[in-house]
Structure 1
Amino acid sequence: MTVALMWEARAVEGRGEELLAWARRQELPVRPSRRETFRGPQDRVLVITWWDAAYDAELPELPEPDPELVSRAVHQWRFESVG
């Protein structure tokens, strides 16, 4: 089964590039089968990692950035492939 973990954060206004650079530097203790990083309006950063694992498997996730860098708590979701 393929599981996708989504991590999304919104930077403090004007600090989107800094948040993007921070997210790109984050290493996970185990390498996912795929990882992509996106940026969006309002200084948002999205990281999606794909894993060959069961839906309820214990998987590493990106941490919370420093509170001074983000305007709200990080949102995280887990999805399973149905294709």
Structure 2
Amino acid sequence: MNLSETEREELMSMQRSRTMAVCQVRRVILLLDEGASRAAIMTELRCDSRFITTWQTRFARDRLAGLYGRHPGRAPRPDGP
């Protein structure tokens, strides 16, 4: 994965301050960077190969920005009369 020091620090910081699902994504990237095998990651994080591939691909393409949600969220509700 070849993380920069800045990316590694941000991933470590995010891992401590987010929901469990978000932490799992960050952990996948960190483990891949450390050279862990897919089998080891699947066992440790209890995830499947598709999960690893999805996040590995997004990170490789977009770096840290790829780990954030892509949808803009729900539009604000208009105020009623």
- Which structure is richer in relative contact order (CA contacts within 8 A, separation 6 or more)? 1
- TM-score if structure 2 supplies the norm length? 0.27
TM-score norm. by structure 1 comes to 0.26
- Mark the structure with the bigger radius of gyration: 2
The answer to which structure has the higher strand fraction is 1
